[in-house]
Amino acid sequence: MSTLAQNKADLERASTAQKVADMLRERVLLGELEPGLRLSEEAIGGALGVSRNTLREAFRLLTRDRILVHEHSRGVFVRRPTADDVRDLYAARRVIECGALRLWNDVSDAQREAVRAPVRQAVARAEKKDFSKTGSANIQFHRGIVGLAGSARLSDESDRLFAELMLAFRVAHEVEAFHQTYLPWNRKIVELLNNGTVEQAVQQLDEYFDAAEQDLASRLVAD
Amino acid sequence: MSTLAQNKADLERASTAQKVADMLRERVLLGELEPGLRLSEEAIGGALGVSRNTLREAFRLLTRDRILVHEHSRGVFVRRPTADDVRDLYAARRVIECGALRLWNDVSDAQREAVRAPVRQAVARAEKKDFSKTGSANIQFHRGIVGLAGSARLSDESDRLFAELMLAFRVAHEVEAFHQTYLPWNRKIVELLNNGTVEQAVQQLDEYFDAAEQDLASRLVAD
DNA sequence: ATTGTGGGATTGTTGAACGATTCTACGATA
DNA sequence: TATCGTAGAATCGTTCAACAATCCCACAAT
């Protein structure tokens, strides 16, 4: 049955616009296309070998994901989050993740494990002085938390929030170093959860958000 | 300064695709285009006098809003929420709205008033046997709750969840009667908030979700 | 009843075209 | 020197026509 599900993904080949959008998303998140950069329809379309119409469809997709911003008759630009955006982003995360974390005792073991595992891996890597994937590990931890809610829609929206946050890190020139700072926090949260003190874990998560928001926002005031 | 903000809205005339999307969204939400209906590019584009390309951009917009679903090489259809969708929707609402409501004591008076006012109006109308806008009043109440979080992103996403829920009501043939049932719940929640017993209000909201979810899901099992 | 197999309809994508809007650079004016 | 206005270039917004790819439906064969 699992093979059928796999094949399904192969059969549902994405449209050209979807594939272009995926590629552009990756480039933006990898930092190859800097925030604020204007994406010319002609230049990008020519380079990728797709028509303007198809490319515009891809742009719409990414605009909805908040990766790009669309200005009428001016074109699309890689989003450049401001300090206000960061505040909004963290206000949303606080509600979503703290709310999800409070469900800790009502969810499946698999869901709980999706929260613990990323931290365990990050700790293991940190002990080996391997800081290569600390960023994605931190994201995985928070994805796990959102997953406790058991809503695909909420998880999808959170992924969009995380992507936008990545752009903010990029603007703040703090892509990797940033996440690394907060591993101790994540450990503490998992520890509190394992102790059965869920409310304390929620409070700890809330403090993490305070610190992270302030840290990031302070780096975004200057241009 | 307020006039400037108004003019801005005029200046930022929406693109054709955006206007088409807005019109289609309204038609769908009003029930003129039934869930499950396939939207032919040629038919709709011809009727609205826009090109296929522009129409397809509008479709993409609405697909991201979960108003339409897009099946490759088959076309776009008005979304037809299933019982599983309803479960997912309420799982998301539970986390978002209960989380937002817990912020009651930390927000501005204006934000709190945005929660109370819709219930007050609904009560006034109900006393006059005027049940015309009870649906939108219920939605306004919940929009107000989400607004407590103070995140435009979260409010936008919630609007999408509400729109999707409207479609579910449509499928369940319960557009107006549904909301009406839950006015007493809303009153009780506001009452508990005014008493300063926020946690009890949150619990009441959670029970509302349980009841609403079960009611709606039970009407969606049959086709 | 199930399984090919056509043809017809619809979508996916392209390329060109042209009006509308924005940007840029240069010169006029104070 | 600084501000303003303007013509021309560049780019976006939208349409149209075309064709390949895909799906749907009816009909025939087993």
For B29-88, the pLDDT digits (tens) are: 999 999 999 999 999 999 999 999 999 999 998 998 999 999 999 999 999 999 999 999
Q: What is the mean pLDDT of residues B131-145?
A: 89
B151, B159, B160, B202, best to mutate vs chain A, most A CBs in 10 Å = B151
Q: Are B44 and B78 in contact (CB under 8 A)?
A: no
The predicted pLDDT at position B77 comes to 97
Regions of chain A short of the pLDDT cut 50: 1-2
Q: With 0-12 CB in 10 A as exposed, 13-18 as middle and 19+ as buried, what is A3?
A: exposed
Average pLDDT over all residues of chain A: 91
Q: Identity (one letter) of the amino acid at A23?
A: M
The predicted pLDDT at position A135 comes to 79
The predicted pLDDT at position B220 comes to 86
The predicted pLDDT at position B180 comes to 72
Tens-place pLDDT, residues B157-213 = 999 999 999 999 999 987 776 677 889 999 999 999 999 999 999 999 999 999 999
Interstrand relation of B68-71 and B38-39 (parallel, antiparallel or unpaired)? unpaired
Residue nearest to nucleotide C23 (CA to C1'): A74
The predicted pLDDT at position A1 comes to 43
The predicted pLDDT at position A2 comes to 43
Nucleic strand C under 7 Å from the C-beta of A72: yes
Tens-place pLDDT, residues B98-134 = 999 999 999 999 999 999 999 999 999 888 888 777 7
Report CA(B16)–C1'(C19) in Å, whole number.
15
Number of residues written out for chain B: 223
Report CA(B180)–C1'(D9) in Å, whole number.
61
Q: Is A41 on the interface with B (CB under 8 A)?
A: no
Alpha helices (runs of H) in B102-130, residue ranges in sequence order: 109-127
Distance (Å, whole) CA A163 – CA A175: 12
Dihedral in degrees, nearest 10, Cα atoms B183, B184, B187, B192? -140
Distance (Å, whole) CA B59 – CA A66: 18
